[in-house]
Chains A and B, each alone.
Chain A
Amino acid sequence: MKDILILGIETSCDETAASIVKNGCGILSNVINSQINIHQQFGGVVPEIASRKHIENIAMVVDNAFKEAGLSYQDIDGVAVTNQPGLIGALLVGLSFAKGFAWALDRPLLAVNHLHGHIYANILEHQDISFPAVCLVVSGGHTSLLHMKDIDSYAVIGETRDDAAGEAFDKVARFLGLGYPGGPAIQKAAALGKAGKVKLPRVYLDKNDFEFSFSGLKTAAMNLWKKMKGNEELAVFDLAAEFQQALVEVLVEKSLKAAKIYQVDSILMAGGVAANQHLRLLMKEKAGQENIKVFCPSLPLCTDNAAMIAGIAYHQYITKSYAPLDLNAYPGLLSL
């Protein structure tokens, strides 16, 4: 059978990304132009600036994806693009470019949900995952637990009621003066401190469901910092370590609980926060004790990238689930 080559385009937040993936799993190129340095001075992603950078970078990023793969534009079979969820102005740049590119090449357009892409990042690297499975989606915008019957069939069994995990990392890191983005900043600070020296709550809500809440933990961390401030120089590292520990423990425990209740033997992790080393280690350790396998994408595929978009779109291409030219972008999550 002929190889199917899909170009993926991703501009939902502050990364302009393009990638070419063969048959849904062979990454031929994976180009990411990150704007983190630009947004750092604002302490977070500024949507208008992100959109401005996307329109400046998109053509070069896509061209580089072809160069890296050693392919010409005509070689691809379809054009996949993230059309939800994300920053609307940012999504529209990638979507409009993808439409023009696909239309002019006379190739089908494929619409991808960004979060489906994050989940699929696991399959890009591990074709041996056995389903059903439980998947923990943790990013700056989302914290959800999914019960996955198969690659493309899943139900949300729990979500955060307030802040997403990544959002809590960002807010606390900013409050502690650790910088942006918060996830890597807290991880770095935590490595210099020790969890347990100061005490923060583990917020489980109802121990028997899969709902999350991080705003209480966030506020507790901020209040504690206000009290500690000035007293002890190294305290910020201990606080960062305790905050990370408190958040990660809840994520791990609820994921394991879900795996047991749904009787699955695989846990998948997806999204930017899945890059957190402490989360990866603790999840593997605790799951190992229960004989549950843990899968998580390699670090470059945890954060936003277009390989996951091109990868999942292969399956849409095969079933001819093409998107129309009047496809729109949507900032919120219509359905997971």
Chain B
Amino acid sequence: MLILAVDSSTPVAGAALVDEDRVIIESFINYKKTHSETLLPTINRILRECDCSITDIDVLAVTAGPGSFTGLRIGMAAVKGISMAADKPVVAVSTLDTLAGNIAGSDALVCTLLDARKNEVYCGFYEVSGTCPERIKGPMVCTPETFLSIAVELAAYKHQEKIILLGDGYYRYSEYFDIELKDKLLPVPGHLMLPRAAAAGVLAVHKARQGEFEDVYHLRPLYIRLSEAEYRLGKGAV
């Protein structure tokens, strides 16, 4: 099963080809250009480099959120277009699950957090004893303080000595987390800190095997938050 995975939910633009559990090629761009400019050229390039055309692909995977509203829509719109034109099924993967997929076989509590602006983070809490992250709480949006208290509480409850923080939400509030967690915080090398399209592809293999495909006519990103205008109208949560 050959999967083309696409992620543009954070400042990173990623695309990867994954064959079962083997990564064939991956592109990871964490640079200034907009996703609108980079995404399709990247997809085009990685397929060419592997002498593939879209007809060789079995399944498309896309990170569906949470993340930047516009970024999510760029990736999802592109994948919808490709899916319809090439008649390929789509698997949607959580951006937070994708991040947690960077870690495997750990006793630590794995927390993924994305900068949600307005002094909040999108976050999820995971156990990753094997190769597949198991979400125990989230996805949700909250302040870094609330996030941290949940993490500490969960770790205590699960008897986990160490806590791993992944995602750009960590970078944003690193000073605060470092001071609060001290040696409870298990540092992770930089290449595992941000979402990887390859990880989304590997997670998508599992979902595709279970037949968890999306209806592209109704698929939409997981925003978690309402738009500002809806909040002002006094609507509740999504």
Main secondary structure, interface of A, reads helix
Say yes or no: A55 contacts B229, CB within 8 Å: no
In the bound assembly, the distance between CA atoms of A225 and B41 in angstroms comes to: 55
Q: Which of B75-107 contact A (CB under 8 A)?
A: 75-86
Say yes or no: B74 contacts A49, CB within 8 Å: no
- Knowing A52-B223, A93-B77, say if A101 contacts B229 (CB, 8 Å): no
Say yes or no: B69 contacts A104, CB within 8 Å: no
- Knowing A95-B36, A96-B77, A99-B81, say if A46 contacts B41 (CB, 8 Å): no
> How many A residues have CB within 8 A of the partner chain?
37
Say yes or no: B76 contacts A55, CB within 8 Å: yes
For the complex, is A224 an interface residue (Cβ under 8 Å from B)?
no
Q: List B contacts of A327 (CB < 8 A).
A: 36-37
For the complex, is A51 an interface residue (Cβ under 8 Å from B)?
yes
Q: List B contacts of A100 (CB < 8 A).
A: 40, 77-83, 85
Say yes or no: A55 contacts B233, CB within 8 Å: no
Say yes or no: B80 contacts A97, CB within 8 Å: yes
Q: Which residue of A lies closest to B45 (CB)?
A: A325
Q: List A contacts of B83 (CB < 8 A).
A: 100
**Residue from A46, A48, A105 with most neighbouring chain B CB atoms (10 Å):** A48
| Binary contact track A146-189/B, C-beta < 8 Å → 1, others 0 | 00000000000000000000000000000000000000000000
Say yes or no: B73 contacts A41, CB within 8 Å: no
**Residue from A49, A103, A104 with most neighbouring chain B CB atoms (10 Å):** A104
- Knowing A100-B85, A329-B36, say if A59 contacts B80 (CB, 8 Å): yes
For the complex, is A58 an interface residue (Cβ under 8 Å from B)?
yes
In the bound assembly, the distance between CA atoms of A191 and B220 in angstroms comes to: 42
Partner of A101, one of B70, B74, B81: B81
For the complex, is A326 an interface residue (Cβ under 8 Å from B)?
yes
> How many B residues have CB within 8 A of the partner chain?
38
In the bound assembly, the distance between CA atoms of A59 and B217 in angstroms comes to: 5
In the bound assembly, the distance between CA atoms of A49 and B69 in angstroms comes to: 11
**A102–chain B nearest beta-carbon distance, Å:** 8
Say yes or no: A101 contacts B82, CB within 8 Å: yes
In the bound assembly, the distance between CA atoms of A167 and B228 in angstroms comes to: 22
**A306–chain B nearest beta-carbon distance, Å:** 15
Say yes or no: B69 contacts A89, CB within 8 Å: yes
- Knowing A48-B229, A96-B78, A99-B78, say if A89 contacts B70 (CB, 8 Å): yes
In the bound assembly, the distance between CA atoms of A100 and B81 in angstroms comes to: 5
Other 18 A-B pairs with CB < 8 A, given A48-B69, A89-B73, A93-B73: A42-B229, A51-B69, A55-B221, A56-B218, A60-B217, A62-B84, A63-B84, A92-B36, A96-B81, A99-B39, A100-B78, A101-B84, A102-B81, A103-B40, A104-B82, A105-B86, A326-B38, A327-B37
List of 10 A-B pairs having minimum Cβ-Cβ separation, nearest first: A100-B81, A101-B81, A104-B85, A96-B77, A48-B227, A100-B78, A100-B82, A104-B86, A97-B77, A46-B229
